[in-house]
Amino acid sequence: MKELTPLMAASLADAVYSLKVSGKENQFSQALPPSVKNNFDFDLANHRVTGVSGGITSRLLNRRTGFAAIGKGKSTFSGDHVVAIRGTDGLRDIITDLHIGLTGGENNSLVHAGFNKVFQSIKPALEKSLTPLLTTNGRGTVHCVGHSLGGALAHITADWVKRRYKNRVCLYTFGSPRVGLDGFSIKTSGSIDKIFRCTHASDPVPLIPLWPFMHAPYKSPEILLSSAPGIRASGHSMGVNGAPGYLNTANSNDWGALQKKSTDLFKEIDLKYPDRHQVTFTTYWSNRLNYALITLLKKAGLLALVTAQAGIGTFLTFYDMLASSVEKIAKLSGELAEQTRGLLGHMLVFAGKAGVKVADLSYRFIRWVFEVTVGALMRMARQALDYIN
């Protein structure tokens, strides 16, 4: 039972972008290295999967674009299949990528509503192609691959394939955003046989949506392909011309040779207000702010309640509720008030508001701090998604 090499997976995630518009099948084939061509055949006339993404107009007009390619294994990968799904490429897709809401997913856990809408639009075509292939071609592994939004769709697809067909499934993602809440992360970590989640430290897209969305595999390390500091748009680039470009940083035939980085979301952190100026706009500090918020909620005994309420309404509604909860926590004791002040002070520096002092722990001020902090990450994520267009 083999897995795709890092180079094979990255090449597929990159090449599938060429299938957005029909007539570029040759471009897709030319982008694949010998390690893919020698092990998979792609019948794009029958197995180029289209879907609908974007806003209301796109869905009403049923604007379908190419989203995925399905390949049939041969040689070393005989009996296997690969599903390569493209990422965010174009304005309509960017709207989808940043539309944050929650809906019930295929495994009955809460997932990003925008990602799920796109998956539902490609699911019939996926099923139409995969059912005869998997029925006639045995019980091999299905490899699901994607970059950016494609990584999110590959994640949902991998879990669906496992539940629908019972095949062994491997998932390979590059710069994927978080797909669902902890229930989705836990369930898919248990259902998908192997998950290779690849990131760059400079890539803002894996940082969104923020907690309580969570990555899979649950409580397991990501594969950090580049540790270059600072969050910047180019960190999300996929191709060889990117800086660093996932196709460059994944240029290896051995997963064991790549660096793994722990992402323990339950590490307790208490941030002190006087230390706030040490914060930098980096993945490291984005994660520490997440940890510190979770620690504060846990100390106040509200972590379970706040997490449960995340499934009600939209992402913005959740931050309204979260700000209200943090205001109440600050009133419980002097210690919790100071811990809240420390968290907010660090968030402000992260968001580029180092000159703003935390003298007010009202709901209005706390909500504003959340707004500017989330806004700083979202702006960089939008630039990153534009960067790959």
Distance CA 374, CA 376 (A): 5
Phi-psi region of 175 (alpha: psi -120 to 50; beta: other; left: phi over 0): left
Lowest mean pLDDT among 203-207, 317-321, 370-374: 317-321
Same-domain pairing of 243 and 336: no
> Of the residues 265, 288, 311, which one is the last residue of a structural domain?
265
Using 50, 70 and 90 to split pLDDT, how confident is the model at 58?
very low
Same-domain pairing of 243 and 278: no
Task: Give the model confidence (pLDDT) of 110-129 as tens digits.
Answer: 888 888 888 888 899 889 88
Q: What pTM was estimated for this model as a whole?
A: 0.89
User: Which is nearest to 285 in space by CA: 271, 298, 266?
Assistant: 271
Distance CA 341, CA 272 (A): 8
Contact, 86 vs 19, CB < 8 A?
A: yes
Distance CA 157, CA 112 (A): 14
Same-domain pairing of 225 and 279: no
Task: Give the model confidence (pLDDT) of 338-372 as tens digits.
Answer: 999 999 999 999 999 999 999 899 999 999 999 99
Calculate the average pLDDT of the chain.
Answer: 86
Q: What is the pLDDT of residue 224?
A: 93
Distance CA 336, CA 371 (A): 21
What's the average model confidence in pLDDT over 198-225? 89
Asked if the bond preceding 244 is cis, omega within 30° of 0, the reply is: yes
Which structural domain, as residue segments, surrounds residue 354? 273-384
> Of the residues 215, 239, 265, which one is the last residue of a structural domain?
265
What's the average model confidence in pLDDT over 323-337? 93
> Of the residues 213, 247, 265, which one is the last residue of a structural domain?
265
Same-domain pairing of 244 and 364: no
Distance CA 350, CA 163 (A): 41
Q: Does residue 167 carry a pLDDT above 70?
A: yes
Q: What is the pLDDT of residue 51?
A: 59
Q: What is the pLDDT of residue 137?
A: 72
Same-domain pairing of 361 and 378: yes
Q: Does residue 320 carry a pLDDT above 80?
A: yes
Q: What is the pLDDT of residue 175?
A: 94
Phi-psi region of 333 (alpha: psi -120 to 50; beta: other; left: phi over 0): beta
Q: Does residue 250 carry a pLDDT above 90?
A: yes
What's the average model confidence in pLDDT over 120-142? 87
- Work out the burial of residue 146: count CB atoms within 10 Å of its CB; fewer than 13 is exposed, 13-18 middle, 19 or more buried: buried
Q: Does residue 221 carry a pLDDT above 80?
A: yes
Share of the chain above pLDDT 90, in %: 53
Same-domain pairing of 330 and 223: no
Distance CA 63, CA 77 (A): 35
Same-domain pairing of 19 and 54: yes
> Looking at per-residue confidence, does 102 or 9 come out higher?
9
Q: Which residues make beta-bridge pairs with 267?
A: none
Same-domain pairing of 132 and 252: yes
Distance CA 16, CA 28 (A): 6
Same-domain pairing of 23 and 145: yes
| Entry field: residues in the chain | 389
Between helix 283-299 and helix 334-350 the angle, nearest 10°, is 160
Distance CA 294, CA 84 (A): 35
Contact, 81 vs 70, CB < 8 A?
A: yes
Reduced to 3 states (helix: H, G, I; strand: E, B; else coil), residue 36 is helix
Same-domain pairing of 299 and 206: no
In a domain, residue 225? The reply is yes
CATH code, 109: 3.40.50.1820
Lowest mean pLDDT among 41-55, 102-116, 288-302, 346-360: 41-55
